[in-house]
Amino acid sequence: MLDLKALIRTIPDHPKPGILFRDITTLLQSASGFRRAVDELVQAHAGRRIDKVAGIEARGFILGGAVAHQLSVGFVPIRKKGKLPFKTIAQPYALEYGTDVVEMHVDAVAAGESVLLIDDLIATGGTAEAAIGLIRQAGGTIAGCSFVIDLPDLGGRRRLEGLGVSVHTLCAFSGH
């Protein structure tokens, strides 16, 4: 059986000293690895009603677009402030030093739609929590969240589960 974790490259001291960056581009370069990751992200939500898939910029676009295709549903990009061309709703979130903002088009999610949120990695959960806030602000519900990588030491999964959201991950790495 293919080991997805073995396909993920670790880059020490990126973007700053002491950080072990988990790089999924090596997984994406593997046809069988990419296929398996997408299949597992889809299968985790079998039987759930999903109207749209939302992906968080930028690696969440790659994975989320593939998952949306497999589920035959639309895709919603969640981007950093100022990147979307139409009217948006915004949600700030905390960073280690300061804040940032994610946005979504106002018409991306209709009231009552069930949305699956996808990204490559869950660390502290701040960005995912902001994305959940946008979807809920638009009147959507969260079908669940799926990530390739969990960094459990940083508490993101617990944070999202505390919001009443189910979280599925394909592998975990200790540390940060």
Q: If you average pLDDT over every residue of the chain, what do you get?
A: 96
Topology annotation, domain 48-172: Rossmann fold (3.40.50)
Residue 123: Cβ-neighbour burial (10 angstroms; 0-12, 13-18, 19+): buried
In the predicted model, what is the mean pLDDT of residues 155-171?
A: 97
Rounded Cα–Cα distance for residues 140 and 125 (Å):
19
CA 72 to chain centroid, in Å, comes to 18
Q: Give 11-25 pLDDT, tens digit per residue.
A: 999 988 988 999 999
Give residue 100's pLDDT band: very low, low, confident or very high (50, 70, 90): very high
| pLDDT(95) > 80 | no
CA 33 to chain centroid, in Å, comes to 18
In the predicted model, what is the mean pLDDT of residues 140-149?
A: 98
Confidence at residue 2, expressed as pLDDT on a 0 to 100 scale? 81
Confirm whether pTM is higher than 0.85: yes
Rounded Cα–Cα distance for residues 37 and 48 (Å):
19
Nearest to 135 by CA among 55, 41, 49: 55
Confidence at residue 175, expressed as pLDDT on a 0 to 100 scale? 74
Which sequence spans correspond to the domains of the chain? 48-172
Q: Which amino acid is at 135?
A: I
Give residue 176's pLDDT band: very low, low, confident or very high (50, 70, 90): low
- For 10, phi and psi rounded to 5 degrees? -110, 125
Q: Which residues are catalytic?
A: 59, 96
Q: Give 22-68 pLDDT, tens digit per residue.
A: 999 999 999 999 999 999 999 999 999 999 999 999 999 999 999 99
Nearest to 128 by CA among 105, 150, 97, 106: 150
